[in-house]
Amino acid sequence: MSDFLGIFRMSRRFIRKEAALSLFIIITLLLTFSCERNREPVVSDISIEPEQTSAGAKYSLSIDAYDEDGDPLNYLWEASHGEFLTANDLSEVTWNAPADGEGLSVVISVSVSDGENEVFREIKLNLSAALFGNIQGYVSFRNIDIPISDVRINVGNKESATNKEGFFSITGLIAGKDSLFVSKEDYITHSMLITVIQDKTLDLEIELLSYIHSTKTYGVVRDQKGKVVDYAQVIVLNPDGSESRLKTYTDQNGLFRISFIPHGTRTLVVRKDHTENERFNELRTEVEFIDREHELNLVITKEALSGQFTDPRDQHVYTFKKIGDYFWMTENLAYLPQVNHPSEMSESEPHYYVYDHYDNSLSGARNHNSYIKYGVIYNWMAAKQSCPPGWYLPGNFEYSEMGRLLGDQAGKKMKSRSGWFEMGNGNNSSGFSAIPGGYMTSGTFGGIEKTAFFYAAANNDNIYSFSLSYDSESLNSQQGSKQNAFSVRCVKLE
Instruction: For residue range 6-41, list pLDDT tens digits in order.
Output: 443 544 444 455 554 554 544 444 444 444 455 778
For residue 301, the model assigns a pLDDT of 96
Distance of CA 77 to the CA centre of its chain: 51
Please, what's the b/e burial string for 443-469 (b: 16 or more CB within 10 A of its CB; e: otherwise)?
A: eebebbbbbbbbbbbbeeeebbbbbbb
What one-character-per-residue DSSP string does 242-300 give? SEEEEEEE--TTSEEEEEEEESEEEEEEEE----SSEEE--EEEEEEE-SSEEE--EE-
Answer yes or no: is pLDDT of 424 > 70.
yes
Domain 132-208 is of which CATH architecture? Sandwich (2.60)
Cα–Cα distance between 161 and 172 in angstroms, integer? 16
Q: Closest Cα partner for 469 from 451, 457, 493, 456? A: 451
Element (H, E) at 32: helix 2-37
CB burial of residue 283 (10 Å; 0-12, 13-18, 19+):
middle
Answer yes or no: is pLDDT of 447 > 90.
yes
**Average pLDDT in the chain:** 91
Q: Do domains 42-126 and 132-208 have the same CATH topology?
A: yes
Q: How confident is the model at residue 43 (pLDDT cuts 50, 70, 90)?
A: confident
Please compute the mean of the pLDDT values over residues 124-143 and round it to a whole number: 95
Please compute the mean of the pLDDT values over residues 405-412 and round it to a whole number: 95
Instruction: For residue range 197-253, list pLDDT tens digits in order.
Output: 999 999 999 999 999 999 999 999 999 999 999 999 999 999 999 999 999 999 999
Q: How confident is the model at residue 88 (pLDDT cuts 50, 70, 90)?
A: very high
Q: Closest Cα partner for 372 from 395, 355, 393, 389? A: 355
Q: Which residues contact 286 (CB under 8 A, 6 or more apart)?
A: 265, 266, 267, 268
Q: pTM, whole model, 2 decimals?
A: 0.65
For residue 10, the model assigns a pLDDT of 47
Answer yes or no: is pLDDT of 2 > 80.
no
Locate all alpha helices (DSSP H) within 415-452, ordered by sequence.
none
Instruction: For residue range 136-191, list pLDDT tens digits in order.
Output: 999 999 999 999 999 999 998 899 999 999 999 999 999 988 999 999 999 999 99
CATH superfamily assigned to domain 42-126: Immunoglobulins (2.60.40.10)
Q: What are the beta bridge partners of residue 319?
A: 308
User: Residue 26 is which amino acid?
Assistant: I
For residue 35, the model assigns a pLDDT of 46
214-303 fold: Immunoglobulin-like (2.60.40)
Q: How confident is the model at residue 104 (pLDDT cuts 50, 70, 90)?
A: very high
Cα–Cα distance between 90 and 93 in angstroms, integer? 6
* In the chain, domain spans: 42-126, 132-208, 214-303, 307-492
Instruction: For residue range 409-420, list pLDDT tens digits in order.
Output: 999 999 999 999
Q: Closest Cα partner for 160 from 184, 142, 178, 189? A: 184
